[in-house]
Structure 1
Amino acid sequence: MNGNQPGAVGAGRQPQLRNPVLARRLPVRDPSVVPLADGYLILFTRKGEGSVADRAHWRIGCVRTRDFVSYEPLPDLSADGYASPGDLVRWHGRWLLPYQTYPGERNRLVYVELERTADGLARKGEETAFLDEARELPWNERGRLIDPTFVRHGDTLHCYFTGSRPIAGGCGHANLLGHAVTDDPELRRWQIVSAEQPLMGVMEDAPDGVENVAVFHNGSVWVMIYSAGLVEQHVGWATSDDLYAWQVHGRLELSLQHWMRDKHGAPFVWREPDGWRMLLMGDTDGYTSFGMLASTDGLSWQPLPEEGPG
Structure 2
Amino acid sequence: MDIKQLYNPVWKRSDNLRDPSVFKGSDGYHLFYSRYSNNDWTKPENWSVAHVFTKDFIHFEDDRDISAKGFASPGDVIRWSDKYILPYQSYPDVPTMLCYSISDNLINWSEPVYFLEEAMDLPWNQAKRVIDPTFVADGERLHCFFVGTDRLHYKSPTNLVGHAYTEDPQMKKWIITTVDSPLIGACDEAPDGAENVTVFNNGREWVMIYSEGLKAQHLAYAVSPDLLHWRKQGRIEVPEQDWMTTRYGAPFVWKDSDCWMMILMGEDKEGHTSFGLLASQDGFNWDILREQ
TM class, shorter-chain normalised? Answer: over 0.9
Q: Which amino acid aligns with 2:249?
A: G
Q: Deviations over 1:210-265 (max 9, x none)?
A: 00000000111100000000001001000001101100011111122111111010
The alpha carbon displacement at 1:167 in A equals: 5.5
Q: 1:90 aligns with which of 58, 79, 89?
A: 79
Q: TM-score, normalised by structure 1?
A: 0.91
**Mapped contact 2:70–2:93 kept (Cα < 8 A):** no
Q: Which amino acid aligns with 2:247?
A: K
Tell me what 1:4 maps to. none
Find the aligned partners of 2:56 and 2:183 in 1 and give their Cα distance. Answer: 37
Find the aligned partners of 2:153 and 2:97 in 1 and give their Cα distance. Answer: 24
Does residue 268 (structure 1) correspond to residue 257 (structure 2)? The answer is no
Find the aligned partners of 2:108 and 2:32 in 1 and give their Cα distance. Answer: 13
Q: Give the percent of matched residue pairs that are identical in Structure 1 and Structure 2.
A: 45
Higher relative contact order (CA 8 A, sep 6+): 1
Does residue 67 (structure 1) correspond to residue 56 (structure 2)? The answer is yes
Q: 2:217 aligns with which of 233, 243, 247?
A: 233
Tell me what 2:267 maps to. 283
**Mapped contact 1:106–1:142 kept (Cα < 8 A):** no
The alpha carbon displacement at 1:169 in A equals: 6.0
Q: 2:45 aligns with which of 47, 50, 56?
A: 56
Q: Deviations over 1:257-287 (max 9, x none)?
A: 1111110100000111111000000011211
Find the aligned partners of 1:212 and 1:34 in 2 and give their Cα distance. Answer: 17
Q: TM-score, normalised by structure 2?
A: 0.97
Q: 2:187 aligns with which of 172, 196, 203?
A: 203
**Mapped contact 1:105–1:142 kept (Cα < 8 A):** no
Tell me what 2:150 maps to. 165
Find the aligned partners of 2:212 and 2:139 in 1 and give their Cα distance. Answer: 29
Does residue 137 (structure 1) correspond to residue 122 (structure 2)? The answer is yes
- List alignment gaps of at least 5 residues for structure 1: 1-8
**Mapped contact 2:126–2:152 kept (Cα < 8 A):** no
Find the aligned partners of 1:32 and 1:86 in 2 and give their Cα distance. Answer: 6
- List alignment gaps of at least 5 residues for structure 2: none
Tell me what 2:226 maps to. 242
SS in 1 for 2:118: helix
Q: Which aligned pairs between 1:249-264 and structure 2 lie closer than 5 A?
A: 249-264=233-248
CA root-mean-square deviation: 1.1
Tell me what 2:11 maps to. 22
Tell me what 1:37 maps to. 26
The alpha carbon displacement at 1:71 in A equals: 1.0
Find the aligned partners of 1:221 and 1:305 in 2 and give their Cα distance. Answer: 30
Tell me what 1:191 maps to. 175
SS in 2 for 1:67: coil
SS in 1 for 2:126: coil
Question: Number of matched residues?
Answer: 291
Find the aligned partners of 2:102 and 2:28 in 1 and give their Cα distance. Answer: 21
